[in-house]
Amino acid sequence: MHCKQLLILTLPLVLAIACSRDEPPTEPPAVDSTADSATEREAGTAQSGEDAGPAGDSSRTALDWAGTYSGVLPCASCPGIDTRITLDEDGDFERSSLYIDEDPDPKTETGRFSWNNAGSRITLESADGGLQQYLVGENSLIQLDRSGERVTGDHAGQYMLHKHINDPAIEGRRWRLVELRGQPVAAGENAQGATLTLRPEDAVAAGNASCNTFSGTYAIKSGQRISFGRNMAVTMKACPDMSVESALLEVLQQADNYSLGEDGTLSLNRARMAPLARFEEES
């Protein structure tokens, strides 16, 4: 009798255990990946200029971000906005913007900038309260739209500013023009030899264009890229032959890269075309 009661009592327990094993396993709670996706978008890739450095680091801690950046940003009413931004270690910035073919002089503003918590982007706040965000990458700043998002579309790649670097191989030396657009150049009877000097201490290109002297900003960037300021200051002396001067000043606006020959000559080039101008170092 006792055995029958025990069997009756244990049977429901066995059935309950068996039923519980037939139930599907409970799914783990869903993980919200929004934060990870946002971090991934901000980290980006080195090719697009958004590399935030090794895992655990950020642009703020892993990159040498302090310095000057420049480039020509898109403009709805002009050929472009020649933009230059200098970031200081202490959080100050200076930004100049020149609307090409519209303004003779750039607009300059100063202020403070701050980092986001991820250390991947900065916000520039000018004296008038204006705000602008940039992603900070390896030797680059990428301007973001008003919502803090990357600009998309055909002109997306044009919103990048590149950092200026130094190259002692060409800076701090006096270069004499010896060839212009494939033709040899020599000083005429009434003209000095055309020269070019790149001063790294103030990023000024100065020299003699064969008649008048000139000076203006320049920028060297990675990949032996170079650009010269569009608002070059030139004296107004008249000379019998201004052809070399006119052509040289035009070349300075067209050049976008440079190279050094095995013989030590400096060439200013545009894309992969033949050198626009060649210079020899003066002793």
The model's pLDDT over 89-143, given as tens digits with 9 standing for 90+, comes to 999 999 999 999 998 888 999 999 999 999 999 999 988 888 999 999 999 999 9
DSSP state of 172: T
**For residues 33, 37, 43 and 46, what is the CA-based torsion angle, rounded to 10 degrees?**
120
- The band of 163, judged by pLDDT with boundaries at 50, 70 and 90, is very high
pLDDT at 13: 38
One-letter amino acid for residue 198 of the chain: L
40 vs 101, higher pLDDT: 101
Please return the burial class of 257, using the count of CB atoms within 10 Å of its CB with bins 0-12, 13-18 and 19+.
middle
pLDDT at 263: 95
Mean pLDDT, residues 15-24 = 41
Please give the structure tokens belonging to residue 206.
């100065």
pLDDT at 32: 36
For residue 47, pLDDT over 50 is answered with: no
16-25, 136-145, 148-157, range with greatest mean pLDDT: 136-145
Q: Tokens 């000095």 map to which residue?
A: 192
Mean pLDDT, residues 55-66 = 89
SS3 of residue 40 by DSSP: helix
For residue 44, pLDDT over 80 is answered with: no
Instruction: Return the minimum-mean-pLDDT range out of 103-117, 137-151, 177-191, 243-257.
Output: 177-191
Cα dist from 199 to 110, 128, 146, 215, 220, whole Å? 24, 33, 37, 10, 11
Question: How large a percentage of the chain has pLDDT more than 70?
Answer: 78
Question: How large a percentage of the chain has pLDDT more than 90?
Answer: 69
DSSP state of 115: E
